[in-house]
Structure 1
Amino acid sequence: MRQDATETNKEVPMRWCVMLVAGLWSGLLCAAEPFRMQNLMLLQPESVMRDRAENVDALAAYVKALNATASRELARVGAPRPAAGFVVVAVRPGGRSRVWLDLAPALPDAVANPLVTALERVPPFQAKGGVVVFALNVTLWDAPPTERQGPWPAAWQRAAEGEQSPMEVGDLVDRVWPASAAH
C-alpha cells in the first residue's frame, strides 16, 4: 500500500508539469498579435493612384514590408497596450516616405517614435508624378477595430485649422510635409 502511495505521489507532480507546460504553450499560441492590418484605405481618387502608383505589385510588396516591420517593432514592446486606428503613409517620387500614426488610445512616445522611424526606413515603391497617400487600418495587440471611417492624424488637423472647405489629401500632405523638405 505504501508503494502505491509513492507511485501516486510521483504521478501527481508529472501531471502538474504536463498541465503547466500545456498551459504555457497554449498561452504562447494565443498571445496577442502585436500588429494586424484590417484593410488598406486609398486616400486619393483611383485615377490619381493609378497614375502615381503604376506598379501595383510594388505597392503590395511595400505594404507587406510595412506590416512585417510594424509587427517586428511592436513585438519588442514590454508593456503592450491595445490600440486601433490608422498608420497613414505618404510616398513621394524619389523613394521618400512619411508616416503618421492615428491610433486610439495614442501610443506612448517611447513606442510611437521608434515605430514611425522603423516604418519610414522601409524602402517604398516608386511613386511617379506626385505624392501617393494611403492608410493601413490596423489593430495592435488584439484591440477591437476602430469604427472611424478614416484617418485624421493630429499633424493634419493642425495643418487644416482655419480652412473653410475640405482639403484634398495630397494638398494637405504637401502642407504638413512639403516636397522641398521631404526626406
Structure 2
Amino acid sequence: MRLLRPALVGELSGQPLGKLAGWLGLNSAAWLLALVGLSLCSAPPAVASEPPAYQTRSILLLQPEPLIAARVNSADELAGYLLALGEAAAAALASENPAPAGGFLVAAVRPGQQARIWLDLQPALPGETAARLTAALQTVEPMAVRRGTVLLALNASLWGGVGSTEHPYPAEWRVAAQERSGPIDVEQL
C-alpha cells in the first residue's frame, strides 16, 4: 500500500524533495522516514475488507519551500499539525455513514495560531457530514507561524474514495475568485 507520494511535496514550487529536507535541517533519509511515519499514522481499517473512513494519500505544501521554512518554527511542529489533522478527520468520520470521496483537506494557518479549513472532495460529502468534519478539523490547535499565512493540504481518501491528482481548489475559492474577477492572494484566504 502506497500512502505517500514524496514527489508531490516539492511539486508546486518546482524544488526537489532533498532541498525541502535541507531547509528543515534533515538529511534525506531522516526526512523520508519522517514523512513515511506521518503517512502511516492514518487510521487503519477496522475490518480488512472495508476501507478506512480516512486515509492520507499525500501531503502538499502549497507555497514555495523557502517561504514555508521562513514561516514555521520547525518541521516537527508542521508534521505534528498535519498528523493531528489526519487524526481529527479519522475520529470525526469514524461514526459517519460511509460516503466514499477523495480530494483535499486544505488548511491556511495564520500568525496567532489561527487556522481556516476547506474541503475539496469529489464527490462532495453530504452537508451535515462535511460540517462535522470541518468543525472537527477546526478544533485542531494549529502550529505557530510567523510573517504570513502557511497554506497546505492533505490529499485524502474517505471510505476508499480515489484521492485527487490535481491541486486543491475548494468551491469557496472559486466563488471568491469570481467575485474579485481575478486571483486571490494567499493572505486573503
Q: Deviations over 1:44-94 (max 9, x none)?
A: 1112101111311011011111111100110110x2111001111011111
**Aligned match of 2:176:** 159
Quick one: which amino acid aligns to residue 61 of structure 2?
Answer: L
Displacement after TM superposition at 1:144 (Å): 2.1
Structure 2 equivalent of residue 73 of structure 1: 92
- Which amino acid letter does the alignment assign opposite residue 100 of structure 1? W
Q: Give % identity.
A: 38
Are 1:142 and 2:160 counterparts? yes
Structure 2: distance between partners of 1:99 and 1:138: 14
Describe how 1:118-133 pairs up with structure 2 within 5 A: 118-133=136-151
1:9-60 CA distance string (max 9 Å, x none):
xxxxxxxxxxxxxxxxxx9232221111111111111121011113110110
Q: Which of residues 107, 121, 125 is equivalent to 1:107?
A: 125
Show the counterpart of 2:18: none
Distance 2:111 2:147 in 1: 7
Provide the rounded CA distance (Å) in 1 between the counterparts of 2:172 and 2:182: 18
Runs of 4+ in 1 over 3 A off after TM superposition: 162-168
Question: Residue 146 of structure 1: SS of its match in structure 2?
Answer: coil
Bigger radius of gyration, 1 or 2? 1
* Structure 2 match to 1:3: none
Distance of 2:87 and 2:184 partners within structure 1? 32
Give the CA deviation at 1:97. Answer: 0.8
Aligned to 1:15: none
SS in 2 for 1:29: coil
Which TM-score applies when normalising by structure 1? 0.73
Q: Does 1:53 align with 2:72?
A: yes
Partner AA of 1:28 in structure 2: V
Q: Does structure 1 conserve the Cα–Cα contact (< 8 Å) formed by 2:176 and 2:184?
A: no
Q: Secondary structure at the match of 2:132?
A: helix
Residue of 83, 96, 100 corresponding to 1:82: 100
Q: How many matched pairs?
A: 144
State the Cα distance separating 1:166 from its structure 2 match. 4.1
Higher helix share: 1
**TM-score where L is the length of structure 2:** 0.71
Tell me the residue number matched to 2:54. 35
Partner of 1:44: 63
- Note the residue ranges of structure 2 that are not aligned, 5 or more in a row: 1-45
Identify the structure with bigger relative contact order (alpha carbons < 8 Å, sequence gap 6+). Answer: 1
Counterpart CA distance in 1 for 2:180 and 2:112 is 30
User: Secondary structure in 1 aligned to 2:47?
Assistant: helix
